[in-house]
Structure 1
C-alpha cells in the first residue's frame, strides 16, 4: 500500500492511494491535484549516507569508505512532493542526489543483519540536495551544505515494505527539465540496508519514523533556479521538486 500525508480542506490528513485517487483518513476521495503534499511521515532522526555508491565516490575523486560515512539531518530540511528547494544566490555547485529512503517501523537496538528488515516500515524517494560550496571537505559535510531548510524533498509515497520485493534491486533515475541525467541501481550500494541497520543500531537505538537516506549513484549535475527535478525509484514513485532562488524570498 502507498501512504501519504497531505494538506486538504484546511487540515492535514493521512491518506492512501486508491484507484489512482487519494483517499483521506476521513474517507473522502480527492484528486492528486486537490492536495498539497507533505513529507509522507513525521520524521524522527534522519541518517544520511555519504559516498555509499562506489561509482559516485569515484565521480568526485574519492574512494568508497571502509565503514559507513553517516551524518544527521533535522526534519526542517524535508519538503514534500511538488515542493520548492532554495538555491542561495552565492551557490555555484548545487547538485541533486536521488536516494532510496528507508523508514524504520519500530524501536530496535543491536539489530542483526538477519533481522534488519523486520524493523523496516517501508520506503520512499528522497532528493538529498547538496550545496558543495559549503562543504568543509567531502568526508565531513557540514550543516550549511546539507541541512538547509527545504533542501531535502521526500515522498510522495511511503510504500509498505511488503510492496517491495527486493529493495536492493531497484533502478534510480533523475530528470532535470525532462532530460534524464542519472541512472543507477540500489544493487551498487557499498553498504546495503541490513548492514546499515545493524551498524547504526550497534551504538544507538533506532525508533519508529527514523529515516535512513542510503546515498546516490553517479550522475549528479548542477541545478539552477527554475529547474524542475524529478527523482524516481522503480516501484516506489516519482518525486518532483522545483529549485527557486533568493528572489522568491525578497533577498
Structure 2
C-alpha cells in the first residue's frame, strides 16, 4: 500500500492510493497514519478496505509528511562510503547517529525555508524507514519485521551551523522545513529489497545525486537492530539512513541553495518530492 496524509499543516487527514493511482481519503476509517495503524494488524485492516469506494482527494491538495505522531527522527551520518570520501571523512566503524528535531518535519512539496543567517544550506536525498511497532534489543535477523514502510526524505542541512560552530550536528539539521518526508509511506510488503533502490536529486533541473541504497555501509536491518540496542523505537519513529555522494559541500567549488532554487528528488518505487527554496519569512 501507499499511504499518505493530506490537508493544511496541522490538520492533515489520512489517505491511501488506490489500484489506479487515485488518491483516496481514509477519514472515518482511521484517525491518522500513525500509532497502532502502523502495526501489522493495523496495516492489514487498511488493506481490506475497498479503496476505490473512498472519496477522492481533490487534485492540488497539499500533502503533509506521510506519517503523523513521530516521536523522534534519527539520522545516520556518513552511511555511504563515497559520500564520506567527498566529506573528507573516514567510513565510521559504527553508525553515526544524530537527531533531527521533529519540528523540522514537513510535507514533501513544502518550501525549504533558508534560516536566518544561512550561508551553506545543502541537500541530501535519503531513504526513510518508518517504524511500525515497539522495538527494543531486536536481533538483525528480525529487524525488518519492525518496519511499517519506507519513504523519501530530504535531510536538508545548514553546513555552517552543522560543522563550523561548536557543538553537535543537530542544530544544522533541525531548522523548520529541513525534514521533507513523503509523499507516500510505502508499506514494506511493496519493497522487496530496501538495499536495491535507485535514488536521485536535481537542483534546478541539474542532476546532483544519482545513487543506490545498495551502497549503504550499514543496511536497514542493521540500523534498526543497532538503534534498538540504545533506545526504544516506537511506531511512527523515522530513521533517515544517509545520503549518496553529490551534496553541495562536496562539489568543486561548493554549491549551496539560494532563494528561488528548485529541488526535485525521488527514490525508486517511493515517489518524488519537489521543493522551492525560500527565505524564512519570520
C-alpha separation in 2, matches of 1:112 and 1:70? 19
> Does the residue aligned with 2:4 lie in a helix, a strand or coil?
strand
Matched, 1:75 2:102: yes
Q: Structure 2-normalised TM-score? A: 0.83
1:14 corresponds to 2:18 = no
Return the alpha-carbon distance in structure 1 between the equivalents of residues 96 and 165 of structure 2.
10
Q: Deviations over 1:224-245 (max 9, x none)?
A: 1111111100011101111111
Structure 1 pair 165–139 and aligned structure 2 pair: CA distance change class (3 A)? farther
SS at match of 1:76: helix
Residues of 1 paired with 2:124 and 2:166: CA distance?
A: 16
Q: Is the 8 A contact 1:107 1:119 kept in 2?
A: yes
Which has the higher mean CA deviation after the structures are superposed, 225-234 or 134-143?
Answer: 134-143
Question: Do residues 197 (structure 1) and 244 (structure 2) align?
Answer: no
1:52-71 Cα distance to aligned partner (Å, 9 max, x none): 11100100111111111001
Matched, 1:36 2:54: no
TM (normalized to structure 1)?
A: 0.92
| 1:243 paired to 2:243 | no
1:53-98 deviations in Å (ceiling 9; x for gaps)? 1100100111111111001122101110210111135322111000
Residue 127, structure 1, aligned to residue 128, structure 2: no
Say if 1:21 and 1:32, in contact at 8 Å, map to a contact too: no
Q: What does residue 78 of structure 2 align with?
A: 51
Secondary structure, counterpart of 2:183 in structure 1: strand
RMSD value over aligned CA atoms? 1.9
Shift of 1:144: 2.4
Partner of 2:135: 108
Matched, 1:206 2:207: no
Aligned pairs, how many?
246
- For 1:231 and 1:141, how far apart are their aligned partners in 2? 27
1:11 deviates by 5.3
1:232 aligns with 2:266: yes
Are residues 1:63 and 2:63 paired? no
Which secondary structure state, in structure 2, belongs to the residue aligned with residue 115 of structure 1? helix
Q: CA deviation at 1:138?
A: 10
Which residue of 1 is the match for residue 48 of structure 2?
A: none
1:121-160 matches, within 5 Å, as 121-136=148-163, 141-160=168-187
C-alpha distance 144-159 of structure 1, shift in aligned 2 (>3 A): same
- Counterparts of 2:86 and 2:177 in 1: how far apart (Å)? 26
Give the deviation of 1:137 after TM superposition: 5.9
Rounded to whole Å, the distance in 1 between the matches of 2:203 and 2:59 is 22
Aligned to 2:124: 97
- Whether contact under 8 Å (2:115, 2:175) holds in the other structure is no
Unpaired runs of at least 5, structure 1: none
Unaligned stretches of 5+ in structure 2? 28-53, 249-255
8 A contact 2:98–2:170 mirrored in 1: no
Question: If each structure's strand is expressed as a fraction of its own residues, which one has the higher value?
Answer: 1
Q: Distance in 1 between matches of 2:23 and 2:239?
A: 26
Change (3 A) 1:194 1:138: farther
